[in-house]
Amino acid sequence: MSLPLPIALDAMGGDNAPVSVIQGAELARQRFPWLKFLFYGNAFKIGSLLEKNAALRSACEVVHTDVVVNTGDKPSVALRQGRQSSMRLAIDAVKEGKAFAIVSAGNTGALMAMSKLVLRTLPGISRPAIISLLPTQRGEIVMLDMGANIECDANDLFQFAIMGDAFAKAVLNLTHPRIGILNVGQEEMKGHDEVKMAAHMLRNSKLSSNFHGFVEGNNLAEGTVDVVVTDGFSGNIALKTLEGTAKLVVHHLRRSYSSSLVAKVGYLLSRPALATLKEMMDPRKHNGAMFIGLNGICVKSHGSADALSFANAIGVATELAVQQINRRINEELSLYDVSAADNESPEI
Amino acid sequence: MSLPLPIALDAMGGDNAPVSVIQGAELARQRFPWLKFLFYGNAFKIGSLLEKNAALRSACEVVHTDVVVNTGDKPSVALRQGRQSSMRLAIDAVKEGKAFAIVSAGNTGALMAMSKLVLRTLPGISRPAIISLLPTQRGEIVMLDMGANIECDANDLFQFAIMGDAFAKAVLNLTHPRIGILNVGQEEMKGHDEVKMAAHMLRNSKLSSNFHGFVEGNNLAEGTVDVVVTDGFSGNIALKTLEGTAKLVVHHLRRSYSSSLVAKVGYLLSRPALATLKEMMDPRKHNGAMFIGLNGICVKSHGSADALSFANAIGVATELAVQQINRRINEELSLYDVSAADNESPEI
């Protein structure tokens, strides 16, 4: 690859596609002028959106396809029937070395299944996970899995810890990230066998000095550790509960402010302060979760992403590439005794 | 039982015991002047706290014991060694008909194990669950299990739905509570086998018209349904994430307000509005979770409860007794075909 560097975008994935994808690319181009965008999807729709944007038009390539993976499609169906879909073609571009990363706001299960099939997992990793940053009292922390693997065994959680450690080093610039396993209590006796065994494995691994122990739901927002390891079921519920609660508080705040004239004046004077809060809690600023553990960078955007949100997901993919995230994870993995029994990708 | 009605309190459970328990009882007495308090614990410590409070002294009875269940004790150890503990004696009082309910801020696992052993489960219920109210955009909703059962099968979740339905009818005065199962997506194909099977059972039961389907983490704060059913692992994580996030937002708000002089003035004018928010989100106002499914009312207070918080837990227990919660659940259970195979309590 040479400059401008190409990034593959599934132009048809997400509730607001292709508008959010094209406008998101335009926003991302302002931040990374050295990017080239490979749009996969309906060339007529994409073309009409590019009509008035000569600058973006000259920094992109459009690959036409009529096939789209729908939100409700089962991963198995998407795999079989979606070989010519915008999602699949965008993933293929990474596999073929035409793009350094793929971003999609489409069906999560289908994106995971397709990218796992096409890109394969890193050596020693049995299951990729969804990893993302969370806002906390102490700044951002890393959490995985956010929903790719509904049920995980101790070995999966152990591998997640290694990948989360490498991710935190690369993205948060930490030398010794503190790692915690999400559980219902901090005591060693708490939780089910999988978390207890994973904690045991971490305590007896080269990561032991970074391992903090178990953390609880409230420790997420408190930022007690830098890396939170959990299964995809709990991780997804925790993430969405966090987003929902932040919205609830803002909702009540707004209602409280309209309760009296004095409160309204107070609101006017407080606007800059509230704007800071709103910006910090804005889920659009935190959009873009990496499918970590794959032989290639694949970033999932929220399905409901708007242009700003999608631009942020492009930013995440680009920064991960700049940080050479997969080279770092491979280096980290080579230090640990991870089981390669079910490794699907012997070659890098 | 005759007036004043006796409630059994574990005076030694919790981080701030016995002070929080005695002062909490005093606060509760102001709201329910017809209560009589049975304090179980160190009579010397309790006595000295009652010294200056003649009114409370005349409305209570102190049963001395030196044995205390500690926070770190395993439930099995507490069961064996805690037969004379303040927690166990308070539970025994309910079994023996000396008190209409028991409240403790002590070790959750031990309280569950002891109360299950002593009080037994309701006919048709295999495992009791922790049920509590959550603040939402639409008012309060009911959620269970909050952490008693780390792993649950479909049958457990189905029984939780029946109990949650009865609880919402009794406590929230709803005639047709909407029931949702917590999951990683709303589509029927999402989640693990247990939630899918439980949803199938509900759709084919007499509760089907009340069954909304799957809900996600953000639906908690949105108040999408009245009753949220989940396993104890996910429920505990969701609850604590919600509490932690509310604190995070308030923390940032406070920091934003001190960022400039104008913001500080805005803060002064906004104080009443913010106080409303703070009160609504105050976890102390939501303290007190029932162990539902037992032959008797057992309410668990947060271990870190202060007096106000503990008083609220006493209030929860009292209101549940007034609402005859267990009679209602029994009536509800008799309508459904719940498996009584592992029912531990044939008699009521």
> Mean pLDDT across the stretch B113-138?
92
Q: Look at A261 and A93; give whichever has higher pLDDT.
A: A93
Contact B277 A249 (CB under 8 A): yes
Closest among A280, A253, A164, A148 to A211, alpha carbons compared = A164
Q: How confident is the model at residue A76 (pLDDT cuts 50, 70, 90)?
A: very high
Of A136, A248, A276, the CB nearest to B248: A136
> What pLDDT sits at residue A337?
61
Angstrom distance (rounded) from CA B213 to CA B205: 13
- Nearest residue in B to A237, CA atom: B217
- Nearest residue in A to B269, CA atom: A266
Closest among B258, B20, B216 to A147, alpha carbons compared = B216
pLDDT at B205 over 70: yes
User: What φ, ψ does residue B304 adopt, rounded to 5°?
Assistant: -90, 15
pLDDT at A340 over 70: no
Count of other CB atoms within 10 angstroms of residue B193: 11
**Measured between CA atoms, how close is B224 to chain A, in angstroms?**
11
Angstrom distance (rounded) from CA B252 to CA B256: 6
Contact A270 B266 (CB under 8 A): yes
Q: Mutation target for A interface from B216, B241, B256: give the one with most A CBs within 10 A.
A: B241
pLDDT at A347 over 50: no
B contacts of A280 (beta carbons < 8 Å): 252
The pairing of beta strand A297-300 with beta strand A289-292: antiparallel
Share of chain A above pLDDT 70, in %: 93
Of A72, A251, A253, the CB nearest to B137: A251
Sequence-ordered list of residues with C-beta below 8 angstroms from that of A194, at least 6 positions apart, any chain:
A152, A153, A154, A157, A231
A contacts of B272 (beta carbons < 8 Å): 256, 259-260, 262-263
Of B151, B233, B270, the CB nearest to A263: B270
Q: How confident is the model at residue A273 (pLDDT cuts 50, 70, 90)?
A: low
> What pLDDT sits at residue B265?
75
Of B151, B184, B266, the CB nearest to A269: B266
A contacts of B256 (beta carbons < 8 Å): 273-274, 276-277
pLDDT at B339 over 60: no
Contact B262 A251 (CB under 8 A): no
Share of chain A above pLDDT 90, in %: 72
Sequence-ordered list of residues with C-beta below 8 angstroms from that of A62, at least 6 positions apart, any chain:
A11, A39, A41, A43, A46, A47, A50
Q: Mutation target for B interface from A77, A248, A257: give the one with most B CBs within 10 A.
A: A248
> Mean pLDDT across the stretch A226-255?
89
- Quick: pLDDT tens for B255-298: 767 767 777 777 777 777 677 667 766 767 778 899 999 999 99
Q: Look at B262 and B39; give whichever has higher pLDDT.
A: B39
- Nearest residue in B to A74, CA atom: B189
**Measured between CA atoms, how close is B240 to chain A, in angstroms?**
4
Element counts in chain B: helices (H) and strands (E): 13, 11
String of DSSP letters for B173-224 = --SS--EEEE-S-SSTT-S-HHHHHHHHHHHTSTTGGGEEEEE-HHHHHHT-
Contact B245 A221 (CB under 8 A): yes
- Mean pLDDT of chain A, nearest integer: 90
Angstrom distance (rounded) from CA B110 to CA B87: 9
Contact A237 B257 (CB under 8 A): no
Q: Mutation target for B interface from A270, A282, A285, A286: give the one with most B CBs within 10 A.
A: A270
**Measured between CA atoms, how close is B46 to chain A, in angstroms?**
30
Q: How confident is the model at residue A319 (pLDDT cuts 50, 70, 90)?
A: very high
> What pLDDT sits at residue A280?
67
Specify the range with the lowest mean pLDDT, choosing from B40-44, B138-142, B334-338: B334-338
> What pLDDT sits at residue B346?
36
> Mean pLDDT across the stretch A306-330?
94
pLDDT at B78 over 90: yes
String of DSSP letters for B30-77 = HH-TTEEEEEEE-HHHHHHHHTT-HHHHHTEEEEE------TT--HHH
Residues in chain B: 348
Q: Mutation target for B interface from A184, A231, A261: give the one with most B CBs within 10 A.
A: A184
Contact B237 A242 (CB under 8 A): no
Specify the range with the lowest mean pLDDT, choosing from A344-348, B177-181, B279-283, B311-315: A344-348
Contact A137 B248 (CB under 8 A): yes
- Nearest residue in A to B138, CA atom: A248
Task: Give the burial class of A24: count Cβ atoms within 10 A of its Cβ; 0-12 exposed, 13-18 middle, 19 or more buried.
Answer: buried
Contact A266 B262 (CB under 8 A): no
Contact B273 A253 (CB under 8 A): yes
Of A244, A267, A268, the CB nearest to B218: A244
- Nearest residue in A to B255, CA atom: A273
Contact B184 A236 (CB under 8 A): yes
Q: Mutation target for A interface from B240, B257, B280: give the one with most A CBs within 10 A.
A: B240
Contact B267 A272 (CB under 8 A): no
Of A136, A240, A262, the CB nearest to B217: A240
> Mean pLDDT across the stretch A148-176?
94
> What pLDDT sits at residue B187?
87
A contacts of B136 (beta carbons < 8 Å): 248
End-to-end alpha-carbon separation of chain A, Å?
17
Contact A237 B184 (CB under 8 A): yes
Place of tokens 């993430």: A239
Closest among B288, B346, B345 to B321, alpha carbons compared = B288
> What pLDDT sits at residue B254?
73
> What is the ipTM for the molecules in this complex?
0.84
> What pLDDT sits at residue A245?
87
> What pLDDT sits at residue B343?
41
Q: Which amino acid is located at A113 in the chain?
A: A
B contacts of A113 (beta carbons < 8 Å): none
Q: How confident is the model at residue B338 (pLDDT cuts 50, 70, 90)?
A: low
- Quick: pLDDT tens for A107-131: 999 999 999 999 999 998 999 999 9
pLDDT at B342 over 60: no
Highest-confidence range of A90-99, A241-250, B281-290, by mean pLDDT? A90-99
A contacts of B236 (beta carbons < 8 Å): 184, 216-217
pLDDT at A277 over 90: no
Count of other CB atoms within 10 angstroms of residue B330: 17
Contact A245 B247 (CB under 8 A): no
pLDDT at A348 over 50: no
pLDDT at A296 over 70: yes
Contact A192 B150 (CB under 8 A): yes
Q: Mutation target for B interface from A245, A253, A277: give the one with most B CBs within 10 A.
A: A245
**Measured between CA atoms, how close is B72 to chain A, in angstroms?**
8
Contact A238 B233 (CB under 8 A): no
> Mean pLDDT across the stretch B17-24?
97
- Mean pLDDT of chain B, nearest integer: 90
Contact B220 A245 (CB under 8 A): yes
Share of chain B above pLDDT 70, in %: 93
- Quick: pLDDT tens for A19-70: 999 999 999 999 999 999 999 999 999 999 999 899 999 999 999 999 999 9
CB A141 within 8 A of CB A174: no
Closest among B52, B70, B82 to A187, alpha carbons compared = B70
Specify the range with the lowest mean pLDDT, choosing from A118-122, A329-333, B155-159: A329-333
Angstrom distance (rounded) from CA B199 to CA B158: 8
> Global pTM?
0.87
Contact A276 B244 (CB under 8 A): no
The pairing of beta strand A35-41 with beta strand B129-136: unpaired
Q: How confident is the model at residue A345 (pLDDT cuts 50, 70, 90)?
A: very low
Contact B277 A232 (CB under 8 A): no
pLDDT at A308 over 50: yes
